Amino acid sequence: MGQNVQLSIAENTQNSIKTRTSIIIENGRSHMVSEIIEGLKHAINLIISGDPSVLDATFRSIYVSGSATLLVTVWSIPLGILIGYKKFPGRRIVKGIFNAMLGMPTVGLGLILYLMLSRSGPLGILRMLYTPYAIIIGQAILITPIMVSFTANAIEDVAPEVKDLAKTLGASESQASLAVFKEALPSIILAIVASFNRAIAELGVALMLGGNISGLTRVLTTTIALETTRGNFELAIALTIILLLIVFALSFVTNMLKRE
């Protein structure tokens, strides 16, 4: 600010305001960066030291979202292939519905399922609310449209060309469809991975149906939400980094496989 002394008062004031603003922004930024760096250190510490509650939430996240993804594969892949491959009346409408459901808000879905699974709700007799199974079912419903849409698109992208090519090479109808499936397989695996990522990163369903019960339904995202409300930002960021690591690792493995 020393060189500003000679300048006119107006300019000086303006400059000092600018400087002050930039200091505030600078401070804010460095504070944020240091918090994230602290979070990163914390995350590494938590992983190395094997903090039981963090490991517990991490394994539960993988188990719950992994189970939901596997479950969904059973009906979504065949359905996606059907929609992508076969021409049937109303196909566009069905596809449109699945595409629209991609935007399902997780808290809304969680609330609807809560009302169903609540002890006084129609499915209350199952006593499933506040168990990991409830979260698995909720996430399964959440990610079904993702897997169906992505699979259908994957098949549609390759179907006409590969089918024609296979047929010109003398393949039968079933051989041609098998060729289409094989060609679309990397994209279908991507659909599965994307579904898993969506499931493990969502909060609304896990919170509403699981209740974030320590040692039973506490997963990574609900722990992040809890620690944030408790003001433990460092731990919350550490857990976010663990969540991201899982997602990154999975994407990395898929990419490696795809390249092979």
Distance CA 205, CA 111 (A): 8
Between vectors from CA 201 to CA 132 and to CA 234, what angle results, nearest 5°?
A: 100
Q: Which residues are within 8 A (CB) of 107 and not within 5 positions of it... i.e. 6 or more apart?
A: 204, 207, 208
Residue 243 binds to another protein (criterion: CB under 8 A): no
Q: Is the dihedral of CA 44, 48, 52, 57 positive or negative?
A: positive
Residue 70 binds to another protein (criterion: CB under 8 A): yes
Which range touches another protein (CB under 8 A), out of 65-73, 78-86, 91-99, 147-155? 65-73
Instruction: Please state the separation of Cα 40 from the chain's center in Å.
Output: 21
The answer to whether 239 and 43 have CB atoms below 8 angstroms apart is yes
Query: Judged by CB under 8 A, which of 51, 82, 107, 121 binds another protein?
Result: 121
Query: Judged by CB under 8 A, which of 72, 154, 179, 224 binds another protein?
Result: 179
Query: Judged by CB under 8 A, which of 132, 138, 145, 204 binds another protein?
Result: 132
Residue 192: name the closest of 234, 149, 163 by CA: 149
Which range touches another protein (CB under 8 A), out of 83-91, 100-108, 125-133, 145-153? 125-133
Which range touches another protein (CB under 8 A), out of 12-20, 44-52, 93-101, 212-220? 212-220
Site residues (CB under 8 A) for another protein?
59-60, 62-64, 66-67, 70, 118-121, 124, 129-130, 132, 179, 182-183, 185-186, 189, 192, 211-216, 226, 228-233, 253, 257-258, 260
